[in-house]
């Protein structure tokens, strides 16, 4: 009896998964998205600010069969590298970005390629040389990457992604790095 019950359960779950992926239901929809992220900075910029963390809030518009137009803003805080002792130093970024994603297919499991670009509003009170000076800078930024959207239910999804980014800080000290993100989306 236990074998029959186990076989029936496995058969039912397998059938549910297969039909769940084979459905023609559309998961690519307009969404509100919240993302958390971690950035590992590279190059000369990373010699002072080694990493960053923060979050985004955004809105995305689905169009055609595989495309998503995204607009987002957020807050990113850079952290000093271990051993760098700049008293009360801070470097924060407010990104204003627009871009998009290309989804390979519309199903519960949706891998994508992503490109974003925009303006970073950078607030710093200490430059890379350790000199105190409050500055507000407006710098172009772009990023390209890949990830996957997993649709948990019809109107709720999670996103996981990895991007290479380049924020134009200074010619001799570009703020480049790898960004890893995790987010949740709510379809409208």
Q: Indicate the number of domains in the chain.
A: 1
Round to whole Å and give the CA distance between 129 and 148: 39
111 falls within a domain: yes
Q: What is the pLDDT of residue 7?
A: 52
Q: What is the pLDDT of residue 9?
A: 53
Q: What is the pLDDT of residue 19?
A: 40
CATH value at residue 177: 2.40.160.20
Q: What is the pLDDT of residue 15?
A: 44
Instruction: Indicate the DSSP class of residue 35.
Output: E
171 falls within a domain: yes
1 falls within a domain: no
Q: What is the pLDDT of residue 21?
A: 44
39 falls within a domain: yes
60 falls within a domain: yes
56 falls within a domain: yes
Return the H-helix or E-strand segment holding 117: strand 109-126
Q: Which distant-in-sequence residues (6+ apart) come within 8 Å of 48 by Cβ?
A: 80, 81, 84, 86, 128
Neighbours of 25 (CB within 10 A): 11
Round to whole Å and give the CA distance between 188 and 45: 39
pTM of the model: 0.81
51 falls within a domain: yes
In the chain, which stretches have pLDDT less than 50? 8, 11-23
Q: What residues make up the domain containing 166? A: 28-187
144 falls within a domain: yes
């Amino acid at each position: 009896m236990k074998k029959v019950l186990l076989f029936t359960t496995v058969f039912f779950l397998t059938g549910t998964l297969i039909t769940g992926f084979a459905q023609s239901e559309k998961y690519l929809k307009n969404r509100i998205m919240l993302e958390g992220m971690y950035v590992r900075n590279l190059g000369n910029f990373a010699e002072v600010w080694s990493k960053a963390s923060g979050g985004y809030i955004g809105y995305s518009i689905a169009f055609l069969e595989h495309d998503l137009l995204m607009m987002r803003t957020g807050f990113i805080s850079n952290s000093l590298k271990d051993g760098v002792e700049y008293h009360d130093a801070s470097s924060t970024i407010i990104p204003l970005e627009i871009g998009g994603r290309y989804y390979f297919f519309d199903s519960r499991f949706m891998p994508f390629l992503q490109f974003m670009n925009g303006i970073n509003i950078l607030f710093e009170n200490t430059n890379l040389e350790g000199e105190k000076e409050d500055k507000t800078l407006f710098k172009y930024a772009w990023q390209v990457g890949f990830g996957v959207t997993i649709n948990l239910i019809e109107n709720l999804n999670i996103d996981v992604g990895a991007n290479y980014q380049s924020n134009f800080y200074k010619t001799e000290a570009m703020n480049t790095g790898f960004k890893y993100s995790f987010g949740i989306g709510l379809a409208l």
